[in-house]
Structure 1
Amino acid sequence: MQPVFISAERDSHELAQSLKRQFVINNVAVAKRRSEAKLIVVVTLLDEQKRSAALDDEARDAEYALYESARLELQSPDGKNLKGPHTLQQRRLIVNDPDNPVGEETESTIVRAEMREQLSIRLARQVEYWSHQMQAQP
């Protein structure tokens, strides 16, 4: 099943880079060109949302939730769909200090990076699960 090639649109570049790091950490060979790969991993960042979860006494956000979701597919080098699409979602609840809007933005950026890393770990595990399934099939 190796090497794999990660295919992603421009909007999904950061997530694709996180997924590539996960593959490298786990000793999975990653091809630089689609033509060199035995398996194509198609990853798409679908959505990033921020929703109010609770309000304080002055109707300001006391807590908010961050959401990210991504779609994953496995394809053969000729583009045939092998597994998926499968959607994974990552969520985090953050307690907000409404008197510090700069801190909120900084914390959101840090938390989103952590979420993307966690999402890439889950995506890598899904690819591993699918590859074991495919190897077990006659």
Structure 2
Amino acid sequence: MQTKWLAIAFALLTLALSGCGFALRGSSYGVAAHYQPLYIAADRESQILSQALQRQLEINGVDTTQRRTKAKLIVEVTLLRKERRSIALDREARDAEYALFERARLALRSPDGKFKRGPITLEQRRIIVNDPDNPVGEQTETDIVRAEMREQLGVRLAQQVEYWTRDNGEAH
């Protein structure tokens, strides 16, 4: 009898969550089919970021192409700047904490080169507490954190592309 009530309560909870608009973080809306495939245009400095964006789009079921001529929409990605700023110093004037920044610009163009949306600048920031007695560990940690930041920036770029292309099927 108790398991029956538990099953009913679980079913009601599931219905309530689905009815209230609850969605798992990271669930996507996708890109309208008439905009696919997308071509990601990036300069040499932005290749790692463009690869992160492409992975995210493909995870969300968005078709991409390696040939600009086959694209129905051009996604331009540019890594603007990566910075490191000292936040706090220790007794010996070494970095005790530092911040890492990654900025990227995103724009959508039609195949004929006209701007559809953007450009917009997105940024990722991280604060790292440093072990001044381990300079090798500092560089390794910085490299790992920067890689994570680029992946997160790729997620945000993909979300922005999807947002721009779902406005009633129009990328303005």
Runs of 4+ in 1 over 3 A off after TM superposition: none
Q: Give structure 1 stretches of 5+ with no counterpart.
A: none
Report the counterpart of residue 69 of structure 2 in structure 1: 35
- Structure 1 segment 1-138 matched on structure 2, within 5 A: 1-133=35-167, 135=169
The amino acid that maps onto 2:47 is: H
Structure 2: distance between partners of 1:137 and 1:69: 23
TM-score (normalised: structure 2): 0.78
Structure 1: distance between partners of 2:51 and 2:118: 20
Q: Which has the larger radius of gyration?
A: 2
Structure 1 counterpart SS, 2:165: helix
The amino acid that maps onto 1:124 is: A
Alpha-carbon displacement from aligned partner over 1:24-44 (angstroms, at most 9, x marks no partner): 111100011011111100000
Structure 1: distance between partners of 2:97 and 2:137: 14
Q: Percent identity?
A: 63
- Shift in Å, 1:134: 5.8
- Shift in Å, 1:136: 5.2
Kept after mapping to 1: 8 A contact 2:117/2:171: no
- Shift in Å, 1:68: 0.3
- Shift in Å, 1:57: 1.6
Structure 2: distance between partners of 1:100 and 1:14: 28
Structure that is richer in strand per residue: 1
Structure 2 counterpart SS, 1:135: coil
Structure 2 counterpart SS, 1:133: coil
The amino acid that maps onto 1:113 is: A
* Coordinate RMSD, CA, aligned: 1.3
Structure 2 counterpart SS, 1:19: helix
Kept after mapping to 1: 8 A contact 2:42/2:77: yes
Aligned residues: 138
